[in-house]
Amino acid sequence: MNIFVINSGSSSIKYQLFRWPAEQPVCSGLVERVGSEQATISHKVFAEGVPTEQRLTLPLPDHEAGLHKVVHLLTDGVIQDPSDIDVVGHRVVHGGESFSQATPITPEVKAEIQRLFGLAPLHNPANYLGIEVAERVFPRARQVAVFDTAFHQTLPEKAFRYALPTALYTEQRIRRYGFHGTSHQYVAAQAAAYLGQPDARLITIHLGNGCSMAAVRGGQSLDTSMGFSPLAGLVMGTRSGDVDPSILLHLTGPLGYSPEQVNTLLNKESGMLGLAGSNDMRDISQALAAGDAAAQLAYDIYAYRIRQYIGAYAAVLNGLDAIIFTAGVGENDALVRQLVCQDIDFFGLVLAEAQNQQRQPGLRDLSAPGSRAKILVVPTNEELEIAQQCAALFASAS
């Protein structure tokens, strides 16, 4: 079964093709700057695990043009025809309370994704567009949506409800939803398998430009740092994470900010960008090495917030078997891991400093001898998780 996974962003398309049940992709790629005269495509084809990469720069006016170009690359030796694709799996960020698992896409499902545009305005419209385009480009394939929020539908009501009037939940569905669920689910499963503990008490720490954490026990999410939107929780690349709500009242009252200005401030001008002048941790790391005080403070605040959540989630789980770092920053930034794990031995976490500085592929155990809980780096693979869920969906239906 050929499963083609699409992660469609506002100006990008990330994709992988799996010849299931093989978990190594046949090819993968990234289309960037869609809508530009200088769009780029990075396309990799894997032969016995060894990639051959092709890079293109070309005008792509829209996502449909981008996906057609991807199909052209696929038919150049990977597949014969678009009809060879059996399943297209789509990452969709927000599924509200409607979806708790991978779901075949129907007109009703598409209408619900549209209805949720307001809850994920930066993501759901782009995800929806990817579905619309894929339906035209791959008319024979079965289309499946895998929702970032689905993994967190196991949160108990005491964790997902806010202390607001009940009507705001029952009528407006204002609650904690959580995001990055596909990543949290994947790395938690990998960690549990490594530990040999299906019921492991895990804290998963997804650190990219967007950041979130989850408390996971027995493969189920019990709490998560993002909330009604992807703005809450940790300090992120450009997002503030948790702030006192009265700050918003102060901004829109005495300071005269409009709601649009507040939205831009919190989502696009805050986080590491607001603290250190950049949302790229590599740039901030270089500034830190040069003695920049703002960069040092930004790193300290970033790590401090993560440690706060580790303490909270260890309490939620009533114990701890492992913490898991994943995504671009979590997998690659040794300083972040060091700052998070220092002075936290109360939880039985002791970092192996030498191993932490080494870069190696695959799952890494960075726990020092005597560490009662494991410190793991688990590379995330959301596309593989989506493919697994698509395959399981049709296996259960057959």
Q: How confident is the model at residue 50 (pLDDT cuts 50, 70, 90)?
A: confident
User: Does 148 qualify as catalytic in the annotation?
Assistant: yes
Q: Is 207 annotated among the ligand-binding residues? A: yes
d(CA 68, CA 39): 14
- What contacts 201, CB < 8 A, 6 or more positions away? 216, 217, 317, 318, 319, 320, 321, 322
Whether 392 shows a pLDDT value over 80: the answer reads yes
User: Count of residues for the chain?
Assistant: 398
State the Cα torsion 223-227-228-231 to the nearest 10°. -160
Element (H, E) at 279: none
Q: How confident is the model at residue 398 (pLDDT cuts 50, 70, 90)?
A: low
Cis peptide before 21 (omega within 30 of 0): yes
pTM of the predicted protein model: 0.92
d(CA 163, CA 374): 34
Q: Is 115 annotated among the ligand-binding residues? A: no
pLDDT-wise least confident of 17-26, 126-135, 147-156, 271-280 = 126-135
Whether 201 shows a pLDDT value over 90: the answer reads yes
Q: Is 208 annotated among the ligand-binding residues? A: yes
Catalytic site residue from 62, 76, 81, 148: 148
Q: Residue 391's CB: how many other CB atoms inside 10 A?
A: 20
Residue 350's pLDDT is 95
The structural domains of the chain, ordered by start, are 2-147 (3.30.420.40), 197-382 (3.30.420.40)
Q: Is 267 annotated among the ligand-binding residues? A: no
Q: Helix, strand, or coil here: 282?
A: helix
- Cα→Cα distances 148→118, 120, 132, 216, 248, Å: 16, 11, 19, 15, 27
Q: How confident is the model at residue 331 (pLDDT cuts 50, 70, 90)?
A: very high
Summarize the chain as % helix, strand, coil (round to 5): 40, 25, 35
Summarize pLDDT for 63-110 with one digit per residue, the tens: 889 988 998 899 888 999 999 999 999 999 999 998 999 999 999 999
Whether 125 shows a pLDDT value over 90: the answer reads no
Q: Is 175 annotated among the ligand-binding residues? A: no
d(CA 73, CA 68): 9
Q: Which residues, listed in sequence order, are joined to residue 41 by a DSSP beta bridge?
A: 31, 56
